[in-house]
Amino acid sequence: MTAVIARPRPAWFLFGGLAAIVLGLDQLTKAWIVANVAPGQVVDVVGSWVRLIFSRNDGALFGLFGSSATLFAIGSLAVLVLIVWYHARSSRSLLLSIALGLLLGGALGNLIDRLRLGYVVDFVDMGIGTLRFFTFNVGDSAISTAILLLLILALRPTPKPAVVDA
């Protein structure tokens, strides 16, 4: 008899559904900001700790590497393909499907901005006084959460696959 390793299929519905939800929330919140907050205008949400400010990011995540929107749009397309490819090749893991769905949705939201506007709309500003974190959006939050989940997956021990006698 030959042993066959059972490899469960990835959770496509969870992966795609989560990506669609993140993409929808990202684009809706950006559209609301653009329609209701002038560029540079500050709107306090929780005192000065959390505030809204419409900013245009032509760089990467959190405004790093500015003035590179076209380069990041091209890079984003490659990343999107890699995310879907990796999900297709991975075994069924709820946490991995969640992480990759968040990553896909966030990357798609920011890519749409880069292609449509030439920059990414960022609007969440957090900090105390003049000590502020980078301004970000829903897509950036999803990407950051996905990276944390992927780190957790990389650091935790992996269970051995089930062996089925054929």
Give the sign of the dihedral formed by CA 100, CA 73, CA 51, CA 148. Answer: positive
Is 75 part of any domain? yes
Active-site annotation, residues: 122, 140
For 81-122, the pLDDT digits (tens) are 999 998 988 877 899 999 999 999 999 999 999 889 988 999
Does residue 15 contact residue 104 with C-beta atoms inside 8 Å? yes
pLDDT of residue 138 exceeding 80, the answer is: yes
Is 166 part of any domain? no
pLDDT of residue 48 exceeding 90, the answer is: no
86: left (phi over 0), alpha (psi -120 to 50) or beta: alpha
Could you give the C-alpha distances from 116 to 103, 112, 152, in angstroms and in order?
20, 6, 34
Range of the domain at 152: 10-157
**Mean pLDDT of the region 43-54:** 92
pTM of the model: 0.80
Does residue 121 contact residue 53 with C-beta atoms inside 8 Å? no
Residue among 101, 98, 99, 88 nearest 8 (CA): 88
Is 3 part of any domain? no
